[in-house]
Amino acid sequence: MQRNYYVYFLKDPRKKPAEVFYIGKGTGSRATEHLKIVDETRKGRYIQDIFAAGHIPIVVKVIDELTEEQALQIELELISSFGTIDNGGSLYNSVIPKTIRRKIDDKITVPNGALEKAQLGLKLLKDSITSLAEENPGGVTNSDCSHYLGLQSDNEGKQQDYLTYSVLGLLLKEGVIDSMRLSNRRIYKKL
């Protein structure tokens, strides 16, 4: 399974902090092609405005080493979260994803960059847990992941380790690790 896709942001450097105005997925140089060949879409016109003001859009790869399906799913979720200018959001993407339905509460304010930081943090957690599983061919438990990576939770004095359990679930779904039951413990191994 090829994992050469990534999800990227185009950001407007004229705003402080720089604001995401486009989210895409691709391989190779896809993220920078928007700056080399500026089209006449609303995203292209926005890029032209940034160039005309003497600036260059910032290109940020948010997460990489994805399958095409994973990249598409993350792209759709991020576009749904940020919203497009058509529905009161900040993105100049022309396509509004219809596969993800998320209830938006207008009383909740998501600070600029918070979603980016969360996705980057999630990627780092996934990488750490994957590395731990890879270095231990006999497998690791959820408890091992939380203990050795310093991610133990404290739920009213009880160790629940929900964070690592959730990340392990994502890695299982993505096909990065596999699990099996040994006695009454679940063991996770790198595929």
Alpha carbons 180 and 186: distance in angstroms, whole number = 6
Q: What per-residue confidence (pLDDT) applies to 48?
A: 96
What tens digit of pLDDT does each residue of 136-172 get? 999 999 989 998 998 888 777 666 788 888 888 888 8
What tens digit of pLDDT does each residue of 62-101 get? 999 998 888 888 888 888 788 888 777 889 987 654 444 4
Three-state DSSP class for residue 183: coil
Q: Which has the higher per-residue pLDDT, 12 or 128?
A: 12
Q: What per-residue confidence (pLDDT) applies to 1?
A: 67
Cβ(180)–Cβ(186) under 8 Å?
A: yes
Per-residue pLDDT band at 133 (split at 50, 70, 90): very high
List the 5-12 sheet strands across, edge first: 19-26, 5-12, 58-66
Q: What per-residue confidence (pLDDT) applies to 170?
A: 82
* Long-range own/partner contacts, residues 163-169 (CB < 8 A, 24 or more apart): 163/125, 164/129, 167/122, 167/125, 167/126, 167/129, 168/129, 168/142
Could you tell me the CA-to-CA distances from 123 to 39, 65, 166, 176 in Å, in that order? 32, 10, 13, 13
Per-residue pLDDT band at 115 (split at 50, 70, 90): low
Alpha carbons 37 and 48: distance in angstroms, whole number = 11
Nearest alpha-carbon partner for 68 in 158, 3, 121:
3
